[in-house]
Chains A and B, each alone.
Chain A
Amino acid sequence: MVVCFLIHTVCPVSALSAGESRILYSRVFGPEERDPTEAGLNPEQRRVVQKERLAVVARQVRSAVCLSREASGNVCVETVLGEEAVALGEAESGVLSLGSGEPFAGRTVVLWLAVHALAFTLVCQPHENLLLAEGTLRNLARHCLEELRLLGPGSEVLLKSDRVDAMLQRLLPHGQLLFLNHRFTHGLERDLSAYMSK
Chain B
Amino acid sequence: MYATGTESLIKQARDIQEEELQKFYGRISKLLRSTKEHGNEAVDSLQRLHLIVSATKYARTLPPDLLKSLQALLRSPTCPEHLQVLSSSILRESLPLSVHSLSTDFTSDVRTISYLATVVLSQAASKEELTFLSQYLLKNLESRQPEGQIPRHTLPILSKMISFTPEILKEDQVNLVSRKLVDWLRYASVQQSTSISSGGFFAGPRARQPVPMTEVDGAVVGDFFTVLCVGQSYTEDQWMNMYAFSMIRKWLLTYDTEGASAGDSAQLKRTQISESQNQDDRSEVDSSVMSMVSATSSASRLLPPKERLREKAFEYCQRLIEQSDRKALKRTDTELQKACLVESVAIMDLICCEDSSYVYRAFPCIKALYGRLSGDLLFARALLPIAQFYLNHSETAAVDSEAVFRQLFGAFPAELFNEPMLAFEFVQFCRLNEAVLKDSVALCRQSFPNLLKFLAWNSPALIAEFVELLPSLLAPETAIELLHTLLDLPCLAASLELQQRSASYQPSERVQWDQGGKLAACLEAFRQPSYRGLFLYILRPEAGTGDTIDRLSALHEILAPMGESPRVLHCAQIVPVLLHVYFNNVTQFADGKLLNQLLLVLLERSGLLYNVKTFPTEVQRVFSTHLRALCKLHPALIIDQHRELLDFTASTANIYSKEDFYTHMVWVIGEYLSVTYDSRCTVELITSYFESLEAVLFEVTQVRRSASPPSYSPRVITVLMTTLAKLASRSQDLIPRASLSLSKLRSFSCSEVVAASYSEDDREELVTRAHELINLLKLPNVAQFVLAPSAPGDSTRWHRDTNTSLPQGMKAINDLLHKQSSFLPA
Contacts and interface: CB of A to CB of B under 8 A. Distances in A.
A115 B343 CA distance: 28
B57 A52 contact: yes
A99 B468 CA distance: 11
Contacts of B461: 64, 68, 94-96
A33 B342 CA distance: 26
A153 interface: yes
A33 B512 CA distance: 43
A1 B339 contact: no
A9 B4 CA distance: 12
Interface stretch (B151-159, B179-187, B604-612, B818-826): B151-159
A30 B158 CA distance: 11
A48 B85 contact: no
Contacts of B156: 173-176
Interface stretch (B223-231, B361-369, B645-653, B797-805): B223-231
A67 interface: yes
19 contacts: A15-B11, A22-B2, A24-B6, A43-B59, A44-B58, A48-B57, A64-B460, A73-B512, A130-B425, A131-B382, A153-B3, A155-B3, A159-B47, A161-B54, A169-B115, A179-B245, A181-B216, A181-B227, A183-B230
A86 interface: no
B570 A43 contact: no
A70 B570 CA distance: 10
Contacts of B80: 198
A31 B92 CA distance: 12
Contact of B332 (A11, A75, A185): A185
A165 B85 contact: yes
B465 A97 contact: yes
B160 A181 contact: no
Given A28-B122, A127-B249, A176-B247, A154 B3 contact: yes
Contact of A73 (B4, B7, B247, B513): B513
B89 A158 contact: no
Contacts of A6: none
A179 B343 contact: yes
B570 A67 contact: yes
A187 interface: yes
B59 to A, nearest CB: 5
A184 B513 CA distance: 45
B233 interface: yes
Contact of B2 (A11, A161, A181): A11
B132 to A, nearest CB: 14
Interface string A47-83: 1100110010000000110011011010100000000
Given A1-B163, A48-B57, A166-B81, A179 B9 contact: no
A28 B718 CA distance: 59
A178 interface: yes
Nearest to A179: B227
Nearest to B231: A183
B460 A187 contact: no
A173 B111 CA distance: 12
Interface of A: 1, 9, 11, 13-15, 22, 24, 26, 28-34, 43-44, 46-48, 51-52, 55, 63-64, 67-68, 70-71, 73, 75, 93-97, 99, 109, 115-118, 125, 127, 129-132, 134-135, 150-155, 157-162, 165-166, 169, 173-185, 187, 195, 198
A-B CB proximity, top 9 nearest? A51-B57, A176-B156, A30-B121, A30-B160, A70-B566, A132-B339, A174-B156, A155-B6, A73-B512
A13 B130 contact: no
Central interface residue in A75, A153, A157, A162, by most chain B CB within 10 Å: A162
Interface of B: 1-7, 9-11, 13, 46-48, 50-51, 54, 57-59, 80-82, 85-86, 88-89, 95-97, 114-115, 117-118, 121-125, 130, 152-153, 155-157, 159-161, 163-165, 216, 227-234, 239, 242-243, 245-247, 249-250, 253, 330, 332-333, 335-336, 338-340, 342-343, 346, 381-382, 420-421, 424-425, 428, 460-461, 464-465, 510-513, 566-567, 570
Given A70-B566, A174-B114, 14 more contacts: A30-B161, A30-B163, A31-B121, A43-B95, A44-B58, A47-B59, A73-B513, A131-B338, A157-B6, A158-B6, A161-B47, A165-B85, A173-B152, A181-B216
A69 to B, nearest CB: 9
Nearest to B159: A176
Nearest to A81: B1
A97 B59 contact: no
Nearest to B461: A96
Nearest to B510: A75
Given A51-B57, A176-B155, A184-B227, A131 B339 contact: yes
B153 A182 contact: no
Contacts of B511: 73
Contacts of B57: 47-48, 51-52, 55
A44 B216 contact: no
A118 B2 contact: yes
Given A44-B95, A73-B513, A174-B159, A181 B332 contact: yes
Given A46-B125, A51-B57, A180 B11 contact: no
Contact of A150 (B1, B239, B428): B1
A179 B332 contact: no
Given A127-B249, A129-B339, A181-B228, A152 B1 contact: yes
Given A129-B339, A179-B245, A134 B81 contact: no
Nearest to A11: B2
A159 B48 contact: yes
A182 B570 CA distance: 40
A179 B421 contact: no
B253 A127 contact: yes
Contact of B9 (A64, A131, A150, A158): A158
A180 to B, nearest CB: 7
Contacts of B124: 30-31
A162 B47 contact: yes
